[in-house]
Structure 1
């Protein structure tokens, strides 16, 4: 169990006095000013816990020049898992602190074991916990593990720490009562100070009203709580609402007083010597440009790029910066040293600038607290050029453009100027994306064919610098593997052919580019468009309580933009149903998404941009339904039943053996579209072996068998269909087609009529019945069916051609010619229309016109990768077009 100043002793800073710091522990009785508290028994509320915290007692004596902190912790080991709590550590700063151990006892029933008198001792060591962050704090840790600890033992540890820091010249401040994180039987805090010290107090959370008194020239402030429960932080709230229970004490009258104390430390150290290497660097910048903005940029680069970061916090290093000259000669320094160096250079170049104290983690909470120096753990520079403030941080790297430096997201900062007040440090919403993803897919070869894919990711600003540093630390093989993993995050089947990383130091921009191929995952005929998701599934629910309705924190600043571009097979993009554009602000974030189609290319652009660091709770709750709706409303493409697989699809599907029923059905459909009936039949047989009652497979196999005049087998498939879906439209339609193939047109027309009775708009039934009527010699009935279709859709050129064929067969050439011309007006370059026009011209005896139409048909078919079948349109293949044209030439004698 770590016995730290944050948990028990709080934080204190005292004025100048004789140094009392020590690098070894002392041992002695409780100080006379301490009011000892009884250790309560463990409550039934915590009987199931491995460790029960019985007492947390912190008492402070604040005197000019010194602050003494008495801390006592008592806990009971209730289960074997709790024995690890016996690992006790005390941490202190030997430059300012002297620690006395007042008591270390183990109570076992009525027995009291004095651990220190039993011969055990603390082991003291210096452990730098942040070496990997180039931070040296000089803290010492004393550790002891009492021997023989048992389940049921109560451990009590009490220490007194005397703290002196001459830098702060008599000012004192302290945190106390940090009781938000654990169940505590008795929590006690007591502050004692001389009456002539003006001390202010502030409580956070549900700390009780204090008991206050004064006697013998001293004042007393005391808090007590019993059987307290941990504080549940309000979910999603800014950090200032997550402090929990905490007390503050400070003798600073204002933030200006605090700034007035710290400012001289930087005035004294931010000095350029009259001569020497640092002076030479300043003069180089001065000569390079007279523009103060350029000079400020070069000064920042000098500090960021040529002085590495190392924090030396030992001794007075916690608050006092090294001098500018010292830092330049060392070529390393912490935030204070780098700030002093940068200030020195800027001031020497005539640029107004001041240091600003900050806290990158807890800065949001500073505005609600008392003036305290201990709240800050960072410092940077605010420079003023041409009436604009620039935030320059020497510990960053790569800031090559002042205008691109955002206001740091530090909450509140304290400028070290006269009459200082806190300044709010919150970045503005970004005007350009800090992260972009672009995915380009070329699926023109087919929906199932392997598609070339290019993935591009662009990162800007701090994330670009950090990611570039991370990638630079990898070997080329490691980097390549990460690129492959990244690409597979977009497409499971992605095969990488190349990947590149390019970092632009000036722009602070990292571009990642991955190229390769992938097969698109059409799951049940739907394809998710990568990067198209926006919104999320928020959980803003909070339990009732005093902080129930505090604001909700927004990830800010953030601006991410995504673009997905898919080049699709002919006709697939135009057939998509596009979702309405999204442009709305929800819970502090602006969401945009658009879907557009241009030719055979579909593009989805989306973005999410924060506009504020937090939003009111009610506003966040009101946005929940819409955010969840957007989260579910991803963009999907539909592979319609009318999609005709390409040659590339067939080739791709043929290469890979199906692994499931659905894959067999998909490939069978592709084979059918290309009249590869044997291959289609094989896959349908395989599918039906897996699922003998699959309707689609039975239906297609029955049609193939009917077309091949394998009527007995077709009848078996229809019977199987009937057992699965008796009386269904599929069964009736298949039975009608089988009759049509048998030449039983009377039965065919009766069955098609059943479909029309169910659905008078059934185009398939009207078309097939019309053709069956025509085959049976019932021209009037045939024309009537097709006329009904044309009346419903005057642009139905397939029905126009079918009616023209029937009319021509009845020698109604004038009517046929009108229908053919109407079809030509709709589809002047369609091979089927041109074929019908050529055949009619032949029938009319105009062979030169027939040659003209057949020649156009040949040209149209040469320009198309495949010859589409449109509904029930009669189609003549390119070989037929050549033959028809040759026949017309022969009649004309042109051979």
Structure 2
């Protein structure tokens, strides 16, 4: 069992949901020993007689009561939970309670097991809590000062009711006589039989309270000289909010109670602690550092930058919550001497340095999440979880975070995403808005140079430099210092994997520029080819296609007046360049060369230039933290859609030289640097990273180096044999004409993973090798689902046709046509079978044409109709279909092969080039087509 409240100090994580947060003034009866005593007489005990012990929720009682009096907050909690199952026994079997011994006591009032009519008093039975110091955040350098009392409940069984009642006192040194309390208000559908929260204080104390749903509360009642607020839980569930609403619309329901009249009073009460902590003697080391900085520069901004760098780099982070440290700051001189401190200590040290240099500065409290809600909250210290420093130079605010890293002049003016700050000043201050502004310098600059000189249908070599500034880049400093080669290889593997097919890294280096505050990643390798065949040309496209998204959902009437939160602040710049082949015609650009567009607090600037074979473009995206007002949402949506419609293409010349058009020697010469790069990538990769070897094998198939691909595949099989790699081996062996070995590899793949797709491939290999009955046996044993029935019918028809069972082939195709009469793949299977086997031609044409009309990519369907036209003797129609198919898919080997056959039969010797090209791409075509009486005329 866990207690339901925790302290949320400045410099700590935000309070968890369900936690009770409080803090108060100087220590009263604080101690490290657990006390065992009766509950305070002001509490109102809950009764189990009022709950359904047997059939109600397992949470029988959750009762929270808080008393604010004379600078001390006492928090009482009473829980009763039925242990319904072994999981609940495991969860509730150990009680765990925390408190701050420098601020108060933990008192145990009752630990009871109720078993039927029996009440077992665990404490009277001699059980005692063990006290441990719980520093859960120690690995994040958090020493919050909490103690934890734990008790493994002896004798607890499934079916029992465990009741635990305890209280804590809190008297925080930093708050003086002020007090604060906050209670999370559970909402439906939380299941509990009885739950409530009670908060009380003397009638003569000026106490303020607030909650998100204040209408749930009645006014405090006066009883025995105390004002009392009471609320039954759970309350009604809050209305659902859109996920992109500002945080203040989505914050949890919390009751806040405190003695601060306003933000000014809170500011005034905290300021003396920080002013005193910042004072140092003139002969101190801190004063010496201030003088050293002043001697280094006369420029105030430079001095601020140097002081902040000193605090960030030379003082490590450690939250020390001991001795009142959750709100009380550590003295600047002590922080410098110890070289560690939390956000308060670092801020006080920076504040001290700046004031000694005559720079207008003050410490400020901030909330690292949900800060936009601060103006709506009751003024209590618990609203904040972080401290930074505000400096003002030439009328401009600079928000300085000593716990951050790598702040330099270039990003000194960046505004963190905290929305509001509370300056701590002697005269007091209201909340101050942290007005956002565009980042002056990119957080990341990426420079990428790609080299397409080998060909625009080949993967390019690339050289990448990524500079990451500020805290994100500082994370690379340790990697740069360690020089861990295995870590670098792991990083390289991640980049290659995210790049996609063809990507491989030959080298990677990480360094850190201390002066710029930038982590630098330098990388070389092979990138996936980004040219795509579209509209009859190869195009390197920049089409946003929804990349810039602003489409908030405000369709519900109750959401219409809710603004949209925009992310930020961020700024990213990409400097991209490409080298194009020098043996081709002119590349042309479409779309605008420059772009300056804005939508929803985001701006995009693009500049593109082309000179000869070099194309360069700069893209900069700036996001600004803020909101879009409800009345502006439609306008900003339109702006985003307009931006997404902008399309820019780099268009290759119409007469390009494809890799399959080159003789093997010339292709080998052009691709030698790429192969060499893949060799480097294989050598560089970690022993268990097989991706570079896979990419090299894949590339070798793309340049028709079947022997080289087979060697790589065999290496892969020796290191990581899988069904997919055996299937791949079978395909390469088939291209080499080694059919018997291909069948063996395909069979092994199927044995390892009985995938139907592999079975279809194996059956065709067997059938074209003359083993037709064996092929039919393979197919007839398969379990075929609806999604695979079309491919099955096509494969079965081919195998049956080869076995001379034409009627069986037509029967299975006919059933598919009846079931799926508009499916382009089914229609094409029927058309292809008729053309390939030269049967049923008289009724083929309507089916073939319908397949083309229904298809999304009609190239295979055009190829099938061309075969039918060829069988019918209409060579002109066949040529038209083949030309159309190759316009859509230039590398369609079957279309090139048939076109070569037709051209040669027509006396066009250029057909030999088509045949040679087709067989370069798919060498197995010659043998397969010959089975059907299709061979080029010699």
CA–CA separation in structure 1 for the residues paired with 2:111 and 2:877: 102
Change (3 A) 1:732 1:304: closer
2:307 aligned residue (299, 302, 315)? 299
Match of 1:726 in 2: 845
Match of 2:568 in 1: 556
Is contact 1:531-1:562 (8 Å) kept?
Answer: no
Is contact 1:448-1:520 (8 Å) kept?
Answer: yes
CA–CA separation in structure 2 for the residues paired with 1:495 and 1:392: 41
| Pairing 1:241–2:241 present | no
Deviation of 1:137 (Å)? 1.8
Match of 1:95 in 2: 102
SS in 2 for 1:482: helix
Deviation of 1:529 (Å)? 6.3
Match of 1:888 in 2: none
CA–CA separation in structure 2 for the residues paired with 1:234 and 1:638: 42
Is contact 2:266-2:428 (8 Å) kept?
Answer: no
CA–CA separation in structure 1 for the residues paired with 2:18 and 2:408: 45
Deviation of 1:606 (Å)? 4.8
Structure 1 segment 133-282 matched on structure 2, within 5 A: 133-180=140-187, 182-205=190-213, 208-226=216-234, 234-282=242-290
Match of 2:91 in 1: 85
SS in 2 for 1:3: coil
Match of 2:112 in 1: 105
CA–CA separation in structure 2 for the residues paired with 1:46 and 1:192: 30
Is contact 1:14-1:171 (8 Å) kept?
Answer: yes
CA–CA separation in structure 1 for the residues paired with 2:880 and 2:278: 97
Change (3 A) 1:214 1:359: same
Change (3 A) 1:588 1:402: closer
1:511 aligned residue (509, 520, 541)? 520
Please report the RMSD computed on the Cα atoms of aligned residues, expressed in angstroms.
4.9
Match of 1:352 in 2: 360
Match of 2:125 in 1: 118
Is contact 2:242-2:553 (8 Å) kept?
Answer: no
Match of 2:430 in 1: 421
Change (3 A) 1:234 1:183: farther
Cα displacement string for residues 677-700 of structure 1 (whole angstroms, at most 9, x for unaligned residues) = xxxxxxxx9999699999xxxxxx
Match of 2:371 in 1: 363
SS in 1 for 2:293: helix
Is contact 2:459-2:502 (8 Å) kept?
Answer: no
Is contact 2:185-2:235 (8 Å) kept?
Answer: no
Cα displacement string for residues 46-98 of structure 1 (whole angstroms, at most 9, x for unaligned residues) = 86xxxx33332211111122111111222233333222321321000000021
SS in 1 for 2:376: coil
CA–CA separation in structure 1 for the residues paired with 2:96 and 2:881: 89
| Pairing 1:20–2:29 present | yes
2:138 aligned residue (131, 135, 142)? 131
More divergent stretch after superposition (646-655 vs 322-331): 646-655
| Pairing 1:609–2:728 present | no
SS in 2 for 1:326: helix
More divergent stretch after superposition (447-456 vs 159-168): 447-456
Structure 1 segment 483-502 matched on structure 2, within 5 A: 483-502=492-511
Is contact 2:194-2:233 (8 Å) kept?
Answer: yes
Match of 1:312 in 2: 320
CA–CA separation in structure 2 for the residues paired with 1:565 and 1:402: 26
Is contact 1:9-1:58 (8 Å) kept?
Answer: no
CA–CA separation in structure 2 for the residues paired with 1:748 and 1:429: 66
2:602 aligned residue (574, 577, 589)? 589
Deviation of 1:736 (Å)? 9.8
1:31 aligned residue (34, 40, 52)? 40
How many matched pairs?
A: 721
Match of 2:723 in 1: none
Is contact 1:593-1:604 (8 Å) kept?
Answer: yes
SS in 1 for 2:279: coil
CA–CA separation in structure 1 for the residues paired with 2:117 and 2:595: 72
CA–CA separation in structure 1 for the residues paired with 2:640 and 2:69: 55
Cα displacement string for residues 200-221 of structure 1 (whole angstroms, at most 9, x for unaligned residues) = 1111147612252114432111
Change (3 A) 1:32 1:425: same
Greater Rg by CA: 1
Match of 1:406 in 2: 414
CA–CA separation in structure 2 for the residues paired with 1:731 and 1:416: 80
Q: Which runs of 5+ in 1 are unaligned?
A: 669-684, 695-714, 741-746, 757-767, 777-801, 803-831, 833-866, 869-895
Is contact 1:721-1:731 (8 Å) kept?
Answer: no
CA–CA separation in structure 2 for the residues paired with 1:272 and 1:723: 102
Is contact 1:442-1:451 (8 Å) kept?
Answer: yes
1:654 aligned residue (704, 716, 721)? 704
Is contact 2:869-2:878 (8 Å) kept?
Answer: yes
Deviation of 1:406 (Å)? 1.0
Is contact 1:186-1:227 (8 Å) kept?
Answer: no
Match of 1:11 in 2: 21
Structure 1 segment 824-835 matched on structure 2, within 5 A: none
CA–CA separation in structure 1 for the residues paired with 2:876 and 2:301: 88
SS in 2 for 1:367: helix
Cα displacement string for residues 772-798 of structure 1 (whole angstroms, at most 9, x for unaligned residues) = 9xx99xxxxxxxxxxxxxxxxxxxxxx
Is contact 1:211-1:221 (8 Å) kept?
Answer: yes
More divergent stretch after superposition (102-111 vs 610-619): 610-619
Tell me the TM-score normalised to structure 2 length.
Answer: 0.66
Match of 1:644 in 2: 657
Tell me the TM-score normalised to structure 1 length.
Answer: 0.69
SS in 1 for 2:32: coil
Deviation of 1:247 (Å)? 0.6
Deviation of 1:481 (Å)? 2.8
Match of 1:814 in 2: none
Deviation of 1:543 (Å)? 10
Q: Which runs of 5+ in 2 are unaligned?
A: 7-16, 669-699, 710-726, 737-763, 770-790, 796-833, 850-861, 884-898, 915-938
Deviation of 1:360 (Å)? 1.7
Deviation of 1:737 (Å)? 9.6
Change (3 A) 1:405 1:160: same
More divergent stretch after superposition (205-214 vs 563-572): 563-572
Cα displacement string for residues 443-487 of structure 1 (whole angstroms, at most 9, x for unaligned residues) = 232244453122332322221112334554561221133123213
More divergent stretch after superposition (625-634 vs 188-197): 625-634
Is contact 1:185-1:228 (8 Å) kept?
Answer: no
CA–CA separation in structure 1 for the residues paired with 2:63 and 2:80: 9
Is contact 1:300-1:342 (8 Å) kept?
Answer: yes
Deviation of 1:401 (Å)? 1.5
Cα displacement string for residues 743-763 of structure 1 (whole angstroms, at most 9, x for unaligned residues) = xxxx9899999999xxxxxxx
